[in-house]
């Protein structure tokens, strides 16, 4: 939309307050601030929602893979063959045997439910989700027969344990005697404490060599499942179909969607709902632009009539008021993007400050799953938000601009 020199001059003057027009300028300023807050709210909320999904997906997949091959009855006697077949399947990047079993852990009279995970030593040390999250101790001492384990930070807090503590694991799968089954209670030394960042994992996970887990659970040489990762999480079903046909008789394959379906579906629904609700804020701000332009047209009716008698065209007047309204929307959009990015950069500091002022725990990991407020900005979404604000602002200018262009100078100046 190209403006002539006089049109640019008039548009510039209409954007700034004139004598007796402070109220119109105030309404326009409120419109700009409203657009800014609406855009900032959308950027912040959508980035946080994306961060939630990304953090949960990365950490859940980091421990559980894109899919798991589970044996019937919790046992896979032929796990070595399944691992070999999985690795030979096109699109599979890794196949890791492991054992997972819910047990109980006790220390100094405290008892907690835990999830024992047995993994090969090489897989423990190469797992990025575990290796990069050790806060105390080292995974280097966790070797078969050493009686050393790694536990989550929240579990360590609940038990009052630290590196070097002797934690007892209680397994109901014990030896049979004439008086019944005798549960097994085996003590292990804590060699490392890790913090993955997902509360449920940090509160329950106990990691040990798969050989020690087999001994503790009396599983012989069997594994419980095989964790599989692929080149594309969204195509995991298609990639693992050949493997599912091979192991169908003795095992079942569950992918990340089925294992965490309720969680990710809830996030997707909440994401759409938040986008819709917050978009209404921008729509309300746009109505403020509409009202401020209508007021401006009413206040400038005499000026518009004079411009028409001096040769100003209807299209020129329309362009002037469209540029004025769109400029307000554009400035509000730019300010909103800036405010949103600043908030996201200092998001955890803001949460901590609000908690300090209010005295309330706004980010309870036991409720929020994650220990910190996540964020992941999607450039496509940012573009859509900015474009939506600009389009709404432009549409809000059409009626006031048409009203200004349709002013009849004869009627306005008849009694001048």
Q: Is 278 helix (H, G, I), strand (E, B) or coil?
A: helix
* Cα–Cα distance for residue pair 389/372, rounded to 1 Å: 30
Question: What are 70's two structure tokens?
Answer: 């589970």
Nearest CA to 47 out of 333, 275, 335 is that of: 275
| Residue % of the chain over a pLDDT of 90 | 13
Segment 166-214, tens digit of pLDDT? 999 988 776 665 555 667 888 999 999 998 877 878 888 999 999 999 8
CB 186 within 8 A of CB 216: yes
CB 24 within 8 A of CB 31: no
The three state secondary structure string of 44-82 is: HHHHHHHHHHHHHHHHHHHHHCCEEEEEHHHCECCHHHH
Those residues with Cβ within 8 angstroms of residue 289's Cβ, 6 or more apart along the chain or in another chain: 28, 31, 35, 325, 328, 329, 393, 396, 397
Residue 335 pLDDT exceeds 90: yes
Residue 64 pLDDT exceeds 80: no
Those residues with Cβ within 8 angstroms of residue 156's Cβ, 6 or more apart along the chain or in another chain: 162, 190, 193
Question: What are 384's two structure tokens?
Answer: 């859509």
Q: List, in sequence order, every residue forming a beta bridge with 113; answer none if it has no partner.
A: 104
Between 213 and 374, the higher pLDDT residue: 213
Mean pLDDT of 360-370: 66
Q: Is 172 helix (H, G, I), strand (E, B) or coil?
A: strand
Nearest CA to 337 out of 44, 48, 31, 28 is that of: 44
Measure the N-to-C terminal CA separation of the chain; round to a whole number of Å: 34
Helices and strands in the chain, H and E counts = 18, 10
Residue 38 pLDDT exceeds 80: yes
Q: What does the DSSP 8-state code read for residue 371?
A: S
CB 92 within 8 A of CB 86: yes
Between 82 and 257, the higher pLDDT residue: 82
Counting Cβ atoms within 10 Å, is residue 92 exposed (0-12), middle (13-18) or buried (19+)? buried
Mean pLDDT of 3-8: 71
* Cα–Cα distance for residue pair 305/9, rounded to 1 Å: 17
* Cα–Cα distance for residue pair 67/253, rounded to 1 Å: 7
Strands 110-119 and 205-209: parallel
Mean pLDDT of 344-355: 85
The chain-wide mean pLDDT, for the chain, equals: 82
Residue 359 pLDDT exceeds 90: no
Helices (H), ranges, 300-378: 301-309, 314-345, 347-358, 365-368
Question: What are 323's two structure tokens?
Answer: 């540029």
Q: Is 174 helix (H, G, I), strand (E, B) or coil?
A: strand
CB 113 within 8 A of CB 206: no
Segment 131-163, tens digit of pLDDT? 778 888 888 888 898 889 999 999 999 999 999
Q: List, in sequence order, every residue forming a beta bridge with 380; answer none if it has no partner.
A: none
Segment 230-276, tens digit of pLDDT? 888 778 888 888 888 887 767 888 887 777 667 677 777 877 888 88
CB 78 within 8 A of CB 229: no
């Amino acid at each position: 939309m190209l403006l002539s020199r006089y049109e640019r001059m008039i548009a510039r003057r209409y954007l700034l307050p004139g004598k007796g027009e402070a109220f119109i300028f105030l309404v326009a300023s409120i419109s700009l601030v409203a657009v800014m807050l609406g855009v900032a709210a959308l950027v912040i909320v959508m980035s946080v929602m994306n961060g939630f999904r990304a953090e949960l997906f990365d950490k859940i997949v980091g421990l559980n893979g894109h899919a798991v091959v589970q044996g019937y009855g919790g046992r896979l006697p032929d796990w070595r063959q399944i691992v070999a077949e999985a690795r030979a399947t096109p699109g599979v990047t890794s196949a890791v045997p492991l054992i997972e079993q819910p047990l109980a852990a006790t220390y100094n009279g405290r008892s907690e439910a835990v999830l024992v995970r047995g993994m090969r030593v090489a897989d423990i040390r190469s797992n990025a989700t575990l290796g990069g999250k050790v806060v105390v101790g080292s995974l280097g001492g966790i070797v078969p027969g050493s009686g050393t384990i790694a536990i989550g930070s929240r579990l360590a807090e609940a038990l009052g344990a630290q590196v070097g503590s002797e934690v007892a694991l209680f397994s109901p799968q014990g030896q049979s005697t004439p008086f019944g089954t005798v549960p097994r209670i085996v003590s292990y030394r804590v060699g490392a404490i890790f913090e993955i960042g997902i509360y449920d994992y940090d509160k329950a996970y106990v990691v040990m060599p798969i050989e020690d887990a087999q001994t503790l659970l009396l599983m012989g040489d069997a594994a419980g499942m095989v964790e599989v990762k692929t080149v594309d999480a969204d195509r995991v079903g298609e990639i693992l179909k050949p493997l599912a046909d091979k192991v169908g008789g003795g095992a079942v394959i569950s992918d990340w969607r089925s294992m965490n379906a309720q969680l990710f579906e809830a996030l997707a629904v909440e994401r759409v709902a938040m986008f819709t609700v917050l978009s209404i804020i921008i729509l309300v701000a746009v109505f403020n632009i509409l009202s401020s332009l209508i007021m401006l047209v009413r206040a400038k009716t005499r000026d518009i009539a004079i411009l028409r008698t001096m040769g100003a065209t209807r299209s020129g007047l329309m362009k002037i008021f469209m540029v004025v309204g769109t400029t307000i929307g554009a400035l509000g959009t730019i300010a909103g993007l800036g405010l949103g990015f600043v908030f996201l950069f200092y998001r955890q500091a803001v949460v901590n400050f609000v908690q300090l002022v209010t005295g309330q725990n706004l980010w309870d990991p036991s409720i929020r799953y994650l220990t910190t407020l996540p964020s992941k900005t999607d450039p496509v979404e940012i573009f859509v938000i900015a474009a939506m604000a600009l389009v709404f602002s432009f549409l809000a200018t059409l009626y006031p601009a048409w009203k200004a262009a349709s002013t009849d100078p004869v009627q306005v100046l008849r009694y001048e």
